[in-house]
Structure 1
Amino acid sequence: MTLTPAPFFEDVAGGPAGGAAHWVQTSDGIRIRAGHWLPTGAASGTVMVFPGRTEYVEKYGDAAREFVGRGFAVLAVDWRGQGLAQRLLPDPRIGHVDAFTDYQRDVSAVLDLATELDLPKPWFVVGHSMGGAIGQRAAMERDCFSASAFTGPMWGIFFSSLMKPLSQITAYWGPRFGLGHKTPPTTSLESYVASQPFEGNVLTRDPDMFRMMKDQLAAHPELALGAPSTLWLREALDECKYLMAQPAPNIPCLTFLGGHEQIVDRKAIRKRMEDWPNGTLVEIPDGEHEVLMEGPDVRGPVYERIAELFSANLPNNARRTA
């Protein structure tokens, strides 16, 4: 693999010094972006951050700082169709994928990059929202992760009782009538973070983190993404059904669920974790969807518990304390 540098917006990432990004080509010819950070001295292992829909590498600069400070290397990815990765529709504001399993092509490309960069093993995965679905399948199908952690994982999508029938009709009939590249009704082409005020948002209760996300998109609007396509919605719903029907991966797992979660299906998360051998569910009473973007009093203990899990799954001679 030839390493090709990609833009990396260190001015807004807020991560540890020395962050860098590379372009990566997937097996089906899509260009995605991955960023990485390294600790000072030898790393104990590597944390692979699998972001949610609409997210991008720089959003996880704070996460990189937390893990790098504990001796881990960190690798994050812009999935196809978002961030600086190749957008898949003429209107770049629409999030799209032809098949949800295409994200596994992105995973393969990222793992190849990690190998090329000689990022140390063991490898761990932290998946948020959509990245939780991608991460679960990756852990099911590959023997590459020693432990996993998820925050608000998309193992089901939450719809109100009013919106659920409409969403089902849109997802499964829209593509049949040639509307697969259109957005579902009531959704917006504008970025949720960029257009939503802090009051009433469903992502975080911390105004500083919400402002950070807004500032990132204001400085680099090319990172922004709006609503998904109806085909993405259909593929996502089918993927959730598939994942819930499969046995959980046989690796340790720690999952965090905000008590005010309104984006993914809380019942699906609870059921999945009931069936996950060596899995633990932690519910955050005052948490919204993004517990890693909550205030320090919430996200600090979350990072600590994740780091403890990963450290417990290091070879004895590689363990390192923060």
Structure 2
Amino acid sequence: MDLAPAPLFDDVAGAPPGGAAWWLRCCDGVRIRIGCWRPDGPAQGTVLLFPGRTEYVEKYGPAAADLAARGFATVVIDWRGQGLADRLVEDPRPGHVERFQDYQRDVEAMIAAATQLDMPQPFHLLAHSMGGCIGLRALIDGAPVQACAFTGPMWGIRMPALLRPMAFGAAYIGPLLGLGARLMPSTKPQNYVETQGFEGNALTGDPQMYALMQAQLAAHPDLGLGGPSLKWMRAALKETADLSRQPAPAQPCVTFLGSCESIVSADAIRNRMSSWPGGQLEMVEGAQHEVMMEGPAIRAHVFDRIAALFSDATSADI
């Protein structure tokens, strides 16, 4: 695989020193970006970190620091259509993808690059929100990871009952009318944190982490992404429905669900974890959607638990 140096915005990442970013070409020619960090001293392995929709490499700089402090290297990806990766439609603001299976091309490129860069083995998966949907499919398809952790995974999309018929109608009819690249009704072309103040936000209860997200986009607006396109929503609904019918993977797993979750379906998460052998669901009291970006006490617990799972999985394989 051809790797080329890519920008990494250290000024706002809050990441460990010594990070690097790389451009990758997927098998269909789409250019994506990864960011890599290694801990000081020997590493226990590498965490492949799958972000959510609208997110980007630098947003997980603090997570890379938390993982490095526990002895793990980290690779984070900009999915196609977001961050600095190629945008897929003329208007760069909607979050768009033709079909969710296309994200698996990004996964393949990410794993190939991590291997080529000699990132420490074994690999583990840490996935948030939309990344949790992509990550579950990757595990089912045989991704070479030893253990996995999810935070607020998008295994179902939470919608008010009154809006569900309109949302489904728009997502399924719009693309048939050639409107698949249009924003979903009621969504905005700006990133959520650019229009929503801290009070009343659905992401985190920690003002410092929310301010960091806002500062990152203020400093580097090209990272921003707005609401989902009609075709993205159609693809997401199809993929989550299909995944709900698949058996759980074999890897040991822990999933974190905030008690104040309001973006993804908590019922879908509970259903999945209830049938995952070796899987554990941890409710995080007071947390919202982005458990990895809550206050210091919650973050310390979450990363301690993730590191323990990954370390135990590595020891069991020796």
Asked if Structure 1 and Structure 2 have the same fold, meaning a TM-score greater than 0.5 normalized by the shorter chain, the answer is yes
The CA distance in 2 between the partners of 1:21 and 1:184, in whole Å, is 32
Q: Deviations over 1:94-150 (max 9, x none)?
A: 110011100000000000100110112110000000000011111111140100000
Q: How many pairs are equivalent?
A: 318
The CA distance in 1 between the partners of 2:257 and 2:159, in whole Å, is 17
2:22 partner SS: strand
The CA distance in 1 between the partners of 2:87 and 2:243, in whole Å, is 26
Structure 1 vs Structure 2: percent identity of aligned residues?
55
Cα deviation, residue 315, structure 1? 3.6
Where structure 2 has 5 or more consecutive residues not aligned to the other structure, the ranges are none
Per the alignment, residue 210 of structure 1 pairs with 210
Q: Deviations over 1:244-268 (max 9, x none)?
A: 1000111001000011111100000
Per the alignment, residue 49 of structure 1 pairs with 49
Per the alignment, residue 313 of structure 2 pairs with 313
Cα distance, 1:317–1:279 mapped onto 2, change above 3 Å: closer
Cα deviation, residue 3, structure 1? 2.2
Conserved in 1, the CA contact under 8 Å of 2:36 and 2:76?
Answer: yes
Q: Deviations over 1:267-294 (max 9, x none)?
A: 0000000010100000112110001110
Per the alignment, residue 94 of structure 2 pairs with 94
Per the alignment, residue 25 of structure 2 pairs with 25
The CA distance in 2 between the partners of 1:149 and 1:275, in whole Å, is 16
The CA distance in 2 between the partners of 1:14 and 1:204, in whole Å, is 17
Per the alignment, residue 237 of structure 2 pairs with 237
Runs of 4+ more than 3 Å apart: 315-318
Per the alignment, residue 247 of structure 1 pairs with 247
Per the alignment, residue 110 of structure 1 pairs with 110
- TM-score (norm: length of structure 1): 0.97
The CA distance in 2 between the partners of 1:198 and 1:181, in whole Å, is 29
Per the alignment, residue 286 of structure 2 pairs with 286
The CA distance in 2 between the partners of 1:261 and 1:166, in whole Å, is 22
- TM-score (norm: length of structure 2): 0.98
Conserved in 1, the CA contact under 8 Å of 2:100 and 2:239?
Answer: yes
For 1:140-159, what aligned pairs fall within 5 Å after superposition? 140-159=140-159
The CA distance in 2 between the partners of 1:182 and 1:113, in whole Å, is 33
What is the identity, as a one-letter code, of the residue corresponding to 1:137?
A: R
Cα distance, 1:217–1:122 mapped onto 2, change above 3 Å: same
For 1:113-152, what aligned pairs fall within 5 Å after superposition? 113-152=113-152
The CA distance in 1 between the partners of 2:122 and 2:317, in whole Å, is 12
Give the superposed CA RMSD.
Answer: 1.1
Per the alignment, residue 267 of structure 1 pairs with 267
The CA distance in 1 between the partners of 2:152 and 2:162, in whole Å, is 22
Conserved in 1, the CA contact under 8 Å of 2:204 and 2:210?
Answer: yes
Where structure 1 has 5 or more consecutive residues not aligned to the other structure, the ranges are none
